Amino acid sequence: MASSAVAVRRAVQRYASVLLAVTVAAAVWASSTGDIGVRSPLPGVVAFVLAVASGWAAGMIRTRRWPLFLAAAVGWLVLAAAAAGVVASYQAGLRLRGRRLAGYLAGAAVVLAGGVLVGLEVGGTRRITTATSGNVLILAAGLVGLPLVFGLWVRARRDTLAALRDRAERLEREQEARADQARAEERTRIAREMHDVVAHRVSLMVVHAGALEVTAVDPATVEAAALIRTTGRQALTDLREVLGVLRQAGPAVLPERGLDALDELIGESRAAGLRVSRQDEGVPTVLPATLGRTAYRVVREALTNVRKHAADAETVVGLHYLPDGLEVLVRNGPSEGGTALPGAGQGLLGLRERVELLGGRLEARPADGGFLVRALIPLADAA
């Protein structure tokens, strides 16, 4: 039902000019024949020409007004036809302002006065209809007053709606600007706190690791200290990138790694003491950047969890290239336990949301005494 109403409304809007032209022409012709007005003694060809001209003038009202005003005056003086005059008065109220509107009212008064003179000259029904005082007042109200007032009301309503629309858009823009400013201030505050707290402590860690690397005698201690110092420096570099993004005025775009950096990630995990191996299946293909970044994040988060909870376990990272997607597997074996590192517990939840945004699914569960993280990401939604 709603779709039918919309279709009808669109059809009416599309052919409104044609419908108005046909209606005015038919009404002028009917008036000349006496069906809805005073029968004209003039030849039918004159009435036909005036009817067609009035219809054409009404159809051209969106681009030209004067043809309709002229047709209304001629139609009333020659045929006493009111259709074009009603449309002209409505259009005057809708489109004219100030002096032009006053000029139209003066012209309408002259035409009505001319109609009185023609009615007195012709006599008969024409005189009764257009030349008596009571009928003249009624015609003035019906032909000029009511259509003009209606046109003024429609114009005022449109102006009010336009003003409300402009105000709503302005308020929406102001609200968006305030929200952007609040987000920028919050991001700046977070960046400042991260710099004051996290960067300071990581810098101390790097300094102490460097001092230990220089003063230690045991080769294993020197190697561990060097690894801590290198990892801390990399953490500071990553932190500077994050802080730079937080301080950006525009949308935050953090440069992320893809599958091309997966071997480097596995190497860093091995250097940190994890026993990690990589096993790929299928024929490697060029994958969308979004898919590659998501796969990299899955592996990174899974390896981070292994370091936290099962640092002594055997771990396998696998990529399975499918015809319609990519399967990412990170499986660690049983662990003898130990001290687990603290965590917020939100990593896998964020990964699941990220994978599902690409139309995939993420599975994280215990398996064979260890733990399995499996992500299946389709190509279609990641392209």
- Cα three-residue angle 335-336-337, rounded to 5 degrees: 90
Three-class DSSP category at 1: coil
Question: Looking at residue 382, what is its pLDDT?
Answer: 55
Question: Looking at residue 337, what is its pLDDT?
Answer: 62
Question: Looking at residue 167, what is its pLDDT?
Answer: 92
At a CB cut-off of 8 Å and minimum separation 6, what does 87 contact? 20, 24, 58, 61, 68, 72, 147
H or E, element range at 331: strand 325-332
CA distance linking residue 76 with residue 81, whole number of Å: 5
Question: Looking at residue 343, what is its pLDDT?
Answer: 45
Question: Looking at residue 341, what is its pLDDT?
Answer: 45
Question: Looking at residue 157, what is its pLDDT?
Answer: 93
DSSP string, 75-117: HHHHH---HHHHHHHHHHHHH--HHHHHHHHHHHHHHHHHHHH
| Number of helices and strands in the chain (H, E) | 15, 5
Give the pLDDT of the chain (383 residues) as one tens digit per residue: 556 666 767 776 777 888 888 888 888 888 888 777 778 788 888 888 888 888 888 888 888 888 888 888 888 888 878 888 888 888 888 888 889 989 988 988 898 888 888 888 887 777 887 788 888 888 888 888 899 999 999 999 999 999 999 999 999 989 888 888 887 777 777 777 766 667 767 777 777 778 887 787 788 887 888 878 777 777 777 777 666 666 665 554 455 678 888 888 888 888 877 889 998 988 888 888 888 888 898 998 888 888 888 888 889 999 999 888 899 999 998 877 654 444 445 667 878 888 888 888 999 888 888 899 999 988 875 55
Question: Looking at residue 139, what is its pLDDT?
Answer: 84
Question: Looking at residue 1, what is its pLDDT?
Answer: 53
> How crowded is residue 213: how many other Cβ atoms within 10 Å of its Cβ?
18
Q: Are 194 and 243 in contact (CB under 8 A)?
A: yes
Six token digits for residue 323: 């015809």
